[in-house]
């Protein structure tokens, strides 16, 4: 009876505090998540102004909230959507996690921590919080569009977190972690997911359709929640995250065709336990720890916000996303959460770190939770400002780059796809062997140095230099191979998008092809180099490995800028041809309100993504406004190559040109971007 009373007392205290703060924050028109955090602080053990709730009971209830939140997310994010954003999500998640692990490790080293503690610091700030993002999107009623990319990145990050926890556990307990062990861990995870999805697709959709046909809401709720907890338990039994299991359950329910009814019924239960989760996070906030370690908290807070925004934005742009989508993804993912607590707690349990890192993780998580709603709100104007400040060559490149990748996806199939996959596999093999040599040479440096001294009889520093030179020589075939394969991949991809012309003919696609080759090489170096740097950094001096990567990136960045500048001239020549085509169409009276492909101009000058013409009608909402004022490129991702006014043309407009009825615009971009631009310019739905 005492235990029951204690549980009821804790639950009542949590829910009453959450109810009070959510009403106040709704009245103040502030995110209710902030209210839940405040409620947690008030009933937590660190601010004795109210009765204290039992942390263990609240933590158990919070786990239920995570499961239900992830289940609801899975319902909204079906398998089809996951596979569609898979390549983008994989690229962004790998680059972002690698960069953050590296930054966290360097910060730990700067504060004098051990290598293992520094590695834990990198792990703590690497993984974003699915729970916080889902709640923020829900409060601001944000759905579709860039959120699909964000959720895809979060799923990949959860998988990375599982591997990271496995690695850190082995390192903390003194066990040797070989490439075979890591490969087996990844293989078991892949097998678990495949079996769960295959079996689930054969059973779960049919089961949920049968349950919904009973037309009993309570039966549907119980069956759905039971399914979520069953999959969460199954994942936990195999050593994986309960959040991952619950998400899989939701994604399987989404394939049933009745997911909207289930989501509506489960939502009240989910909201209650989600509130408890955020209250539990608030209970962990210790103002005393924040005050005592304010410099550490500030440094890691800046690393999380700036590091994640920059790494996610740039990597998303490299996958062909627009500036608007990329910035919104970056500013949405700029926080840490539940996995940070798990990793910091693991370090505390294994005595690899002290409680300072755990306090920092809680403080930074709380602060980024406070910042996330405002960052999401500020993302759209920030994207517009960034787009407006970009140099003209970069503006043009970003607008048409997505169309190149769209053409690549459409043209790559069969043997072409197999060749690209084979080249990429060789690239990964070279990277893995290079990583193994670097780690092996670093861990065996003392033994190898002694061996050299024994046989050559030289000074210790010279012997160490000989070992380093030997390691560079042994690894040279692999890093040279990486550079060559990256170059081949770049040319192979570019040739798919821009096939070579006839012998002796003028190559009209030379400028965009060169730019695409450099861009692909830059993307490959980032995608492969970032994980290699993150993995090998603990075994190298702080800046040597990074210096090599940065030097290569600087060279590619220079080549990229030169290519983008040349492409800008190519675009201006294309705009001239397009303007002449628009003038002929206008004079001949053949322009309509529908999209009219400028195929002839595009055939003459490739790389513009099949520009289309759009007529500004008399009822258009953009009449009298400039391109900068309507933020066409920043909002839709499309760009205007030329404007045909009455009797005059504007080539590659700067954004200050004012639009009038009867103007004809040549718009380029992906098919989705062009449709959005057409809708904005004509006022269509």
pLDDT digits (tens, 9 = 90+) for 213-225: 888 888 888 888 8
Tokens of 102: 């590296």
pLDDT in tens, 504-552: 555 666 777 788 888 888 888 888 888 888 888 777 776 666 676 677 7
Residue 183's region, left for phi above 0, alpha for psi from -120 to 50, else beta, is alpha
pLDDT at 301: 93
C-alpha distances out from residue 108 to 118, 121, 286, 566, Å: 4, 6, 21, 43
Q: Kindly report, residue by residue over 165-193, the tens digit of the pLDDT.
A: 767 776 776 655 555 665 676 677 778 88
359: buried, middle or exposed (CB in 10 Å: 19+, 13-18, 0-12)? Answer: buried
- Assess whether pLDDT exceeds 90 at residue 45: no
pLDDT at 1: 44
Task: Report in angstroms the alpha-carbon separations of 425 from 22, 266, 422, 518.
Answer: 51, 43, 5, 20
* Residue 500 clears pLDDT 70, i.e. is over it: no
Average pLDDT, stretch 624-640? 76
Mean pLDDT of 339-363: 80
Q: CATH number for 2-389: choose from 3.40.50.970, 1.10.10.350, 3.30.420.40, 1.20.1530.20.
A: 1.20.1530.20
* 595 pLDDT more than 60: no
| Better-scored residue on pLDDT, 128 or 77 | 128
| Mean pLDDT value across residues 571-594 | 62
Is the pLDDT confidence value at 127 over 70? yes
Burial class of residue 358, CB neighbours in 10 A (0-12, 13-18, 19+): buried
Res. 302 pLDDT band, cuts 50 70 90: very high
Mean pLDDT of 319-331: 87
- In the predicted model, is pLDDT for residue 306 greater than 90? yes
Residue 591's pLDDT is what? 46
DSSP string, 110-121: HTT--HHHHHHH
**How confident is residue 638, by pLDDT bands cut at 50, 70 and 90?**
confident
Q: What is the pLDDT of residue 194?
A: 83
What is the domain partition of the chain in residue ranges? Answer: 2-389, 405-566, 574-682
**Token duo for residue 472:** 């560079």
Q: What percent of the chain has pLDDT over 90?
A: 5
Decide if pLDDT at 304 tops 90: yes
Q: Could you tell me the fold of the domain covering 574-682?
A: Alpha-Beta Plaits (3.30.70)
Residue-level pLDDT at 590: 46
Average pLDDT of the chain, as a whole number: 78
pLDDT value for 592: 45
Percent of the chain at pLDDT above 70? 85
Residue 115, both tokens: 């290598």
Average pLDDT, integer, range 119-138 = 84
* Residue corresponding to tokens 């631009």: 677
Buried b (16+ CB within 10 A) or exposed e, 611-620: bbbbbbeeeb
Q: Which residue has the higher pLDDT, 147 or 572?
A: 147
pLDDT in tens, 269-278: 877 877 887 7
pLDDT-based confidence at residue 411 (cuts at 50, 70, 90): low
Check: CB of residue 241 under 8 Å from CB of residue 67: no
Q: Distance (Å, rounded) from C-alpha 227 to C-alpha 249?
A: 7
- Name the more confident of 414 and 435: 435
Rounded to 5°, the CA angle 403-607-400 comes to 40
CB 127 within 8 A of CB 157: yes
CB distance 372 to 133 below 8 Å:
yes
Phi, psi of 648 (to 5 degrees): -150, 160
């Amino acid at each position: 009876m005492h235990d029951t009373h204690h549980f009821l007392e804790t639950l009542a205290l949590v829910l009453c505090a959450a109810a009070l703060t959510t009403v106040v924050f709704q009245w103040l028109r502030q995110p209710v998540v902030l209210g839940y955090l405040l409620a947690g602080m008030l009933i937590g053990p660190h601010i004795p102004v109210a009765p204290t709730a039992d942390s263990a009971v609240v933590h158990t209830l919070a786990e239920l909230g995570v499961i239900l939140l992830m289940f609801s997310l899975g319902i909204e994010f079906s398998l089809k959507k996951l596979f569609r954003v898979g390549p983008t999500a994989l690229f962004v998640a790998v680059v972002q996690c690698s960069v953050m692990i590296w930054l966290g490790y360097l910060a730990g080293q700067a504060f004098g921590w051990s290598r293992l503690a520094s590695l834990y610091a990198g792990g703590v700030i690497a993984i974003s919080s699915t729970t916080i993002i889902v709640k923020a999107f829900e409060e601001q009623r944000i759905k579709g569009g860039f959120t699909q990319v964000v959720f895809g990145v979060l799923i990949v990050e959860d998988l990375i977190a599982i591997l990271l926890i496995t690695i850190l556990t082995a390192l903390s307990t003194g066990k040797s972690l070989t490439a075979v062990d890591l490969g087996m861990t990844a293989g078991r995870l892949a097998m678990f997911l495949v079996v769960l999805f295959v079996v689930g697709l054969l059973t779960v959709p049919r089961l949920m359709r049968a349950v919904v046909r009973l037309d009993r809401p309570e039966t549907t709720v119980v069956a759905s929640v039971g399914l979520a907890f069953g999959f969460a338990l199954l994942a936990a039994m195999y050593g994986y995250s309960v959040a991952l299991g619950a998400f899989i359950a939701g994604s399987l329910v989404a394939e049933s065709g009745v997911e909207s009814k289930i989501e509506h019924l489960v939502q009240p239960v989910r909201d209650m336990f989600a509130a408890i989760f955020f209250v539990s996070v608030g209970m962990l906030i210790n103002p005393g720890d924040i005050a005592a370690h304010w410099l550490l908290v500030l440094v890691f807070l800046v690393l999380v916000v700036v590091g994640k925004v920059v790494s996610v934005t740039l990597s998303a742009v490299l996958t062909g996303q627009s500036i608007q989508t990329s910035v919104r993804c970056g500013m949405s993912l700029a926080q840490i959460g539940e996995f940070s607590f798990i990793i910091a707690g693991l370090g505390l349990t294994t005595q690899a770190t002290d409680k300072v890192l755990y306090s920092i993780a809680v403080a930074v998580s709380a602060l980024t939770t406070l910042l996330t709603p405002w960052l999401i709100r500020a993302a759209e104007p920030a994207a517009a400002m960034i787009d407006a400040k970009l140099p003209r060559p970069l503006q043009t490149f970003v607008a048409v780059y997505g169309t190149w990748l769209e053409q690549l996806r459409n043209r790559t199939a069969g043997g072409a796809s197999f060749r690209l996959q084979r080249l990429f596999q060789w690239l990964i093999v070279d990277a893995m062997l290079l990583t193994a040599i670097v780690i092996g040479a670093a861990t065996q440096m003392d033994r190898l140095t002694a061996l050299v001294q024994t046989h050559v009889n030289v000074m210790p520093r010279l012997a160490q230099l000989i070992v380093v030179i030997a390691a560079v020589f042994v690894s040279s075939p692999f890093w040279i191979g990486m550079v060559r394969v990256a170059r081949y991949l770049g040319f192979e991809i570019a040739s798919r998008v821009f096939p070579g012309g006839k012998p002796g003919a003028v190559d009209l696609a030379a400028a965009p092809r060169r730019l695409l080759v450099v861009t692909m090489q830059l993307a490959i170096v980032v995608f492969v180099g970032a994980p290699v740097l993150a993995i090998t950094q603990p075994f190298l001096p702080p800046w040597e490995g990074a210096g090599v990567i940065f030097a290569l990136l600087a060279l590619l960045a220079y080549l990229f800028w030169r290519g983008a500048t040349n492409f800008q001239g190519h675009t201006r020549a294309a705009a001239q041809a397009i303007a002449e085509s628009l003038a002929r169409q206008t004079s001949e009276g053949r322009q309509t309100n529908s999209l009219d492909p400028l195929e002839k101009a595009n055939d003459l000058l490739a790389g513009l993504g099949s520009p289309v013409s759009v007529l500004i009608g008399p009822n258009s909402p953009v009449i009298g406004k400039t391109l900068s004022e309507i933020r066409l490129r920043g909002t839709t991702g499309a760009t205007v190559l030329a404007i045909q006014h009455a009797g005059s043309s504007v080539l590659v407009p700067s954004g200050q040109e004012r639009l009038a009825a009867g103007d004809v615009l040549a718009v380029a971009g992906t098919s989705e971007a062009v449709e959005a631009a057409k809708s904005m310019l004509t006022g269509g739905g």
